[in-house]
Amino acid sequence: MSHQLGTLEELPLDYRNTLTDLNLVPLWPALRSFLPYGRPTRACEPMLWRYEDVRPLLMRAGDLTPIEKAERRVLILANPSLDLATARATPTIYLGLQLINPGETAPNHRHSPSAIRFVVEGEGGFTMVEGERLPMEKGDLILTPSGLWHEHGHTGSGPVVWLDALDLPLVYSVEASYCIEGEDQPRNNRADSSQATYRRSGLQPYAALDRPVDTYPLRRYPWREVKAALMDMAGHAGPHDVLHLAYVNPETGRECLPILGFSALALRPGETYAPKRRSASQVLHVIEGEGDAVIDGIEMRWGESSTIAVPTHAEIQVRNNSSTKMAFLFVVDDAPMQRKLGFYEEF
């Protein structure tokens, strides 16, 4: 049933003033703004950041601001449709490109938002999480979950850059975002031990069967292994099968983190990816390749290390323009949160 709702102006002025004095608001004049028919009312619009545009400014930041004055030297990928000051790529996803130069250390801290690091370029960088030293190579996914101590360093040569993705907008919106400083972490005796322990699918330490599940048993997902898995999948998949793999907790088989989800997508030469509309917002980061995207009718040209913000309920087409090479994309979405809250949908 559809009918015209009453307006605020139809109410007597003295009645409206009394409501205001008592901090009361009538719902019915604004009901459709909260509960529109069909699909949500969105402020978020598609947005593309080209790495070739951002990189020179990030490198200059390295010259202008020493790490001691930055703590984390980051340029935020802020979607202008959501107000640049709110530092959001989508309503729930924060993105930033972080730079660390040789010999620098980004000091130890922990915070309430969960974060991931996805390496864009460089060698010799590392992240220390709860004493576990995790090397950073291009395309690697590294988890720094809520409440875990972490710091970054660089023992190689040349700049190291990674993409930060955090659930900061959501945590901040519920007034729960904060950080605690800490001393440098003592390093344990097994560097990258979680990745070594969970190297093979379907295998885990036998002792894990008799202990409570480690919330975050695997903290580094090397790109070389993810890419190899996608290539193996391509070798036996049908022409219409989507080459799409989720990053999961190896002990539970579920998402790595509670709010944001992560996956890797491969596009064969000339292939177009046109999934169903999803209620989740998402981010597409190009690991390798170049092509075009059309998101809610907005056309974009993407290349290596480009990053695209995708609103909720968006119509998506992503095409690999190469006739000979595969393209690979890293995907961040807020589907895990929506599944837990019970409103995730595909259309």
Q: How far apart are CA 109 and CA 228, in angstroms?
A: 34
Q: Can you give the pLDDT at residue 2?
A: 57
Domain check: are 13 and 139 in the same one?
no
pLDDT values of the chain reduced to their tens digit, one per residue, 347 residues:
557 899 999 999 999 999 999 999 999 999 999 999 999 999 999 999 999 999 999 999 999 999 999 999 999 999 999 999 999 999 999 999 999 999 999 999 999 999 999 999 999 999 999 999 999 999 999 999 999 999 999 999 999 999 999 999 999 999 999 999 999 999 887 788 877 888 888 888 888 888 777 789 999 999 999 999 999 999 999 999 999 999 999 999 999 999 999 999 999 999 999 999 999 999 999 999 999 999 999 999 999 999 999 999 999 999 999 999 999 999 999 999 999 999 999 99
Residue 134 covered by a domain:
yes
In this structure, is residue 130 part of a structural domain? yes
Q: Are residues 143 and 255 located together in one domain of the fold?
A: yes
Are residues 120 and 9 located together in one domain of the fold? no
The answer to whether residue 141 sits within a structural domain is yes
Assess if residue 346 is contained within a domain. no
pLDDT at 208: 81
The CATH number linked to 334 is 2.60.120.10
Name the domain count of the chain: 2
Regarding whether 57 and 26 lie in a shared domain, the answer is: no
Q: Tell me, yes or no, whether 172 and 32 share the same domain.
A: no
Domain span at residue 30 reads: 1-37
Does any domain span residue 3?
yes
- The whole-number pLDDT of residue 1 equals 55
**Looking at the structure, do residues 153 and 128 belong to the same domain, yes or no?**
yes
**Would 177 be classed as within a structural domain?**
yes
Residue 186 domain-assigned (yes or no): yes
Decide if 127 contacts 150 (C-beta within 8 A): yes
CA–CA dist 257, 118 (Å, integer): 15
Residue 42 in domain? no
CB atoms within 10 A of CB 71: 12
Q: 135 and 58 in one domain?
A: yes
DSSP-assigned letters across all residues of 208-269: GGGSPPPSSS--EE-HHHHHHHHHHHHHH--TT--EEEE-B-TTTSSBSSSS-EEEEEEE-T
Whether residues 141 and 27 share a domain: the answer is no
Same domain, 19 and 51: no
143 in the same domain as 25: no
> Are residues 101 and 16 part of one domain?
no
Residue by residue, DSSP assigns 285-332 as EEEE--EEEEETTEEEEE-TT-EEEE-TT--EEEEE--SS--EEEEEE
Q: What pLDDT is attached to residue 199?
A: 81
Q: Considering the entire predicted model, what is its pTM? A: 0.95
Amino acid occupying residue 319: R
Asked whether the beta carbons of 262 and 93 are under 8 A apart, the reply is: no
Specify the pLDDT at position 209: 84
Cα separation, 212 vs 195, whole angstroms: 19
* Together in a domain, 2 and 143: no
